[in-house]
Homo-oligomer: A and B are copies of this chain.
Amino acid sequence: MTEVTSFEGRRPPPDGFLSGLEERFGDQLQTGQAIREQHGSSESHFVKMVPDAVVFAQDKQDVIDLVRFCAAANVPIVPFGAGTSIEGNAAAPFGGVSLDMSRMNRIIAVNAADFDCVVQPGVRREELNQHLRDQGLFFPIDPGANATIGGMASTRASGTNAVRYGTMKDAVLGLEVVTPQGEVIRTARRARKSAAGYDLTRLYVGSEGTLGIITEINLRLHAIPEAISSAVCSFATLEGAVETVVQSIYCSVPLARVEILDALQMRAVNRWSKLDYPEAPTLFFEFHGTRAHVAEQVATVEALASANGGGDFAWSDKPEERSRLWRARHEAYYAAINLRQGAVGWATDVCVPMSRLAECILETQKDLSQASVPATILGHVGDGNFHVVFSLDPDAPDELVEVEAINRRLVERALAMDGTCTGEHGIGLGKQDWLVAELGNAVEQMRLIKRAFDPQNLLNPGKIFTL
């Protein structure tokens, strides 16, 4: 994959811009080729779209000063967290400054009695959970990658725990944001709920850095449950696995995690993580609660699984076993890509109403069975959200064309089932046409907000939609 240097509409920085930046930011400014390329790449199939410079913010004042400096020069700013997004969300198609937030990584406060904390956007979720553990608290949103909290808020991330604990829209209590004019606002106080005016918090969550730059995040936390139990169960059919989940929810079992992996994905996991699970449609479960309540949940789900063609539950109650199990699940994406040497990944991301999930996966599998590119399926089955992971040869442009066509059919299938083109990855560069297909003229209301907040189109231009 090659660097794209001349993108239509690229806005080259004016003369003297970089030297002015250097005067203010010193060695927080980096302009080397390698670091710029790293900030213009991502964990996906997108070509590199490289910024003109990278600025590492240390504090809020840096962000304010950079925004004002870039506004005066009309140079775009692209906020950057850990670079784990996969729809080109942090690429720099118009150049400009990549604003790296990773050094703003302080945990500012943990309010244990209120089940919340305040963090800077560069804190990563694994660090946060290590910090919280001693206080009996945890932050439940888990997209797999060790993303930054700011990046997760910006893309409305979710992942394996969402079935029980919701997504970033539920986890964020309030934000501090620097506007495109360099003003600092706070979207909410620290109360657990409020009816005070428009919900700016939820507006910034999922806005992919196009409306403001998040400089502080107030997060909701949860008490670590007394008992946690994980299990893996394989099924004769994919429908049996999905039906087990639907029936569990009907029985009000508060599943903490429930993940589906298809047979090929299980083969990839076995190879990558050196395991020997059956290579069949499989559910990974996690149960949270008191000891007695977990035992009751497990009994209910085991009975339902058995009635739906499930095999025995392989249990992991000890922390290290559970970690091993979930590490295997989290590495499933890399496992799938590595079905071929030197491949790059492409993950699709549809989400459909639960009643259509089995049908949607089965039709997709039928489509994949004709494909020349290896492709696995895994997903957050309790939410109706699943991914196809393609393992692409970067030097075979035909494969990209083929996969684009499969993805088009997949998204059309999901939209026809009243689903969404993106359950959790966001729109970025990759889903813009599908956003319009999904929400039609509602996208015009989004454009009205963008134009009102950022008339210069300064922040992450070209993402979500073109103006």
Contacts and interface: CB of A to CB of B under 8 A. Distances in A.
Nearest to A295: B292
Nearest to A432: B197
B419 A197 contact: no
B200 A206 contact: no
Contacts of A465: 197
A384 interface: yes
Contact of A442 (B186, B385, B414): B186
Given A158-B193, A191-B420, A449-B452, A223 B252 contact: yes
B191 A442 contact: no
A343 interface: no
A330 interface: no
A292 B289 contact: no
29 contacts: A113-B246, A113-B355, A156-B199, A157-B195, A185-B441, A185-B444, A188-B420, A189-B438, A190-B418, A190-B419, A191-B414, A192-B353, A192-B383, A193-B383, A193-B385, A193-B420, A194-B422, A197-B443, A198-B206, A199-B199, A199-B202, A199-B205, A203-B203, A223-B249, A252-B290, A292-B296, A448-B452, A451-B452, A452-B452
B384 A196 contact: no
A251 interface: yes
A445 to B, nearest CB: 6
A223 B252 CA distance: 6
A176 B451 CA distance: 23
B185 A442 contact: yes
Contacts of A186: 439-440, 442
A422 to B, nearest CB: 5
A435 B435 CA distance: 33
Interface string A244-274: 0010011110100000000000000000000
A424 interface: yes
A115 interface: yes
Given A113-B246, A197-B439, A422-B195, A415 B189 contact: yes
A351 interface: yes
A342 to B, nearest CB: 30
Contacts of A190: 353, 418-419
A304 to B, nearest CB: 14
A419 B199 contact: no
A446 interface: yes
Contacts of A205: 199
A61 B150 CA distance: 42
Interface string A407-424: 000000011001111111
Interface in A268-302: 288-290, 292-293, 296
B113 A194 contact: no
B426 A354 contact: no
